[in-house]
Amino acid sequence: MRCRWTGRIRGLVLAVAGLLAAEAARAGAPAPGHPALLITAAEVPALRQAQGQYPLFDKSYRALQKTADKALSSPIAVPVPKDPAGGYTHEQHTRNYYAMQAAGICFQMTKDGKYARFVRDMLLEYSKLIPGLKNHPEAKSSSPGRLFHQALNDANWLVYSAQGYDAVYDTLTPAERKQIEDGAFRPLCSYFTQDLKSWFDLVHNHGVWAAAGVGMVGYAMHDQKLINLAVHGSSGNDKSGFLAQLNGLFSPDGYYTEGPYYSRYALSPFYMFAQAIDNNQPELHIFEYRGSILKKALNSSLQLTNNDGRYYPLNDALKEKDWTTQELIGAVSIAAQHYGVDKTLLGLAQQQGKVMICPGGLAVAKAVQEAGKNLLPYQRQSVLYTDGPTGTEGGLAVLRAGAQDAQTSLIFKYTSHGLSHGHYDKLGIVLYDQGREVLQDYGAVRFLNVEAKEGGRYLPETKTWGSQTIAHNTLVVDEASDFGGKESVAEQNAGQAWFADIRNAKAQVVSAKANTAYPGVQLQRTVALVLDSISGKPLVLDVFRVQATAPHQYDLPWYYQGQLISTSFKYDSFATSRQTVGLKNGYQHLWREAVSQPVRTPGVATLTWLNGPQFYSLSTATDTATHLVLARVGATDPNFNLRPEPALIVREKAQNQVFVSVIEGHGEFNPTSEVASGSRSNVARVTVLADSPEATVVEVQLRRGGTYRLAIANQDAAATKAHQATVAGQPLRWQGPYQLRHTGR
């Protein structure tokens, strides 16, 4: 009798499911079918059959199964939220959504009901918890979460939990689905799209995660209204939502406006939701959207890593993040599914040690096995990126020289502000050499998920120090930050690309302007990365030109990484007491450790430091008004949140000024064999030969290796334009935006 009734009930369930499917179809929702988010039911058999054939695929699946089995071995824990990032409840809810995603995949791969029951039971518990939740007790932003201290993490929960639900959907009764959907998913989706509507509509990485969460839940539940909100925005006109994110956050060549660090974080929901869209609404051709913008975005994100795979820490960024991060594993796998396997990324896939369990991940794992030991290395090259949706909001230049495993990389930033994660660092530069950070960008002040440090949030010093102009290797006017340190103003003003020539690997030159960062002040910076023919090492030539309508104080800081070795200038040090360099705009966080008074005659000031096995020197032109300040980060920091790192500040008080500097690597230090050589700079003289509204000419004389002369056009950067400057009473003529000449040996 029990079997007969069970069969009838099951038949009734299927009949009801059929009616629901028909109703959904009439409402315009996608046809039912599960799984349908990152993998489809039709793709599952091939994934199962691949087990035991490709080591990287097997390793990836075993890692997921380990996550799921560990969760299954413990009682389900769905605690009432109370902790900030890093606390127990925060971490438990994070573990839960990863476990549900993993268990869902394991169910599809094994059809073992224990995994489906786990996802069901977990979501049923959440369906009891979520409806009664108010704003998180540790919320401190305008977008508070319910399960977590910020809504962003709740969006993460939706993205991953939806995948678990989608994978076990067909095992659930209509009553269980209704309870889960009405209790767990709909309240959060409603909260996002109604209570936090302005946040949901943000074109920002938060908005990407929010759209992906709501949209993936929509596809899993066959709710066309949620799908439309996610794809087309709350007004349905593509001014917000997923398409708006694709339109607004990337430049035409794929640069992500919030910076490299946030590009890898945003790529995860971009790629996952795009896969869900493609599985359910292939007519949108989402992977071809904007000229395959997602492919360009992944490529640009990977290019903006250093030799060791770490992301360049521009804007709010943590220096520890590299390209093995979980977010990129999925992006690489999904990209392979739609754009083909990129053989130059197979080494990265092997280094990541995982692929996503999907057709693209399987293709990558297969290609890695077929390549064997002949994996092609990833090629980092000199690149120029525009910024802004139409590519008209400045940009970013990365100049590279040398062998792939020992490159020198010069990063020159003249982008737009970067939304809420942007820094006030127009025309800033960062320098890496052989994987080492030589001239640094501080990045963000944050101890991610370390509860003892403000609940793992960004610390106050991110705003008072990390984002301020003085914290970067760029010019500061009158101890104030660009645009008065106001985000709303900065967002309306971007840098301007002036000219660029990166065709010759031995001499690459880029110039950019920022004429609105300070009222009445025009800034132009030109950088050149030159392979010196004598030393074989790269030289960085830096020319920072300032024109103003009135006199100002100009500070050009240099944040060098390493141990001070020597200086060519004398200074007075404050060995027993210190004062801050200034009182606000980041200056309050700098200790003034030593000062050098102006010299009697113009010349060159050189500072040499040791970084690993290499000596480096910064040589800068000085005049009778130049002040040099040796400073260190860490003042006005009672909680010791800041790293105590050194800096040299070159200070001038003038109306118009040209700062000329050279950075060089030289010599060698081997502490094991106790050998040091070439510890002194090779720069003998740095001079401004001419400066006029039309052109600037500078010269760098080396002790060994001759002289470099760089002429820069200031008014017309056309390739066909002829220019002239007077140097030592003689005319210097050239055509095009610049001329770089090397004379002597």
Q: Are 409 and 376 in contact (CB under 8 A)?
A: no
Fold annotation for 42-236 = Glycosyltransferase (1.50.10)
- pLDDT class of 745 with cuts at 50, 70, 90: low
Average pLDDT over residues 521-529: 98
Instruction: Dump pLDDT digits (tens) for 565-595.
Output: 999 999 999 989 999 999 999 999 999 999 9
- 384-743: CATH class: mainly beta
Which among 382, 411, 385 is positioned nearest to 252, based on CA atoms?
385
Among 417, 421, 472, 589, the one annotated catalytic: 421
Instruction: Dump pLDDT digits (tens) for 115-148.
Output: 999 999 999 999 999 999 999 999 988 999 999 9
Residue 312 φ/ψ region, left for φ over 0, alpha for ψ in the -120 to 50 degree band, beta for the rest: beta
Q: What does the mean pLDDT of the chain come to?
A: 93
253, pLDDT greater than 90 = yes
Among 262, 311, 432, 554, the one annotated catalytic: 262
385 is catalytic: no
Element (H, E) at 110: helix 88-110
Percent of the chain topping pLDDT 70: 96
Residue of higher predicted confidence among 114 and 12:
114
pLDDT at site 492: 96
Specify the pTM. 0.93
Average pLDDT over residues 198-227: 97
- What DSSP string describes 678-700? --S--EEEEEEEEE-SSEEEEEE
421 is catalytic: yes
The domain locations on the chain are 42-236, 249-380, 384-743
- pLDDT class of 11 with cuts at 50, 70, 90: very low
10, pLDDT greater than 50 = no
Instruction: Dump pLDDT digits (tens) for 391-445.
Output: 999 999 999 999 888 899 999 999 999 999 999 999 999 999 999 999 999 999 9
CA 414 – CA 395 distance, rounded (Å): 5
pLDDT at site 107: 98
b/e for 107-138, b at 16 or more Cβ within 10 A? bbbeeeeebbebbbebbbbbbebbeebeebeb
pLDDT at site 2: 34
Number of H helices, E strands in the chain: 19, 28
**CATH entry, 249-380, from 1.50.10.100, 2.30.40.10, 1.10.10.10, 3.40.50.150:** 1.50.10.100
Which among 111, 92, 2, 4 is positioned nearest to 48, based on CA atoms?
111
pLDDT at site 93: 98
Instruction: Dump pLDDT digits (tens) for 480-515.
Output: 999 999 999 999 999 999 999 999 999 999 999 999
- pLDDT class of 32 with cuts at 50, 70, 90: low
291, pLDDT greater than 80 = yes
- pLDDT class of 534 with cuts at 50, 70, 90: confident
pLDDT at site 532: 86
Query: 42-236 with 249-380: one CATH topology?
Result: yes
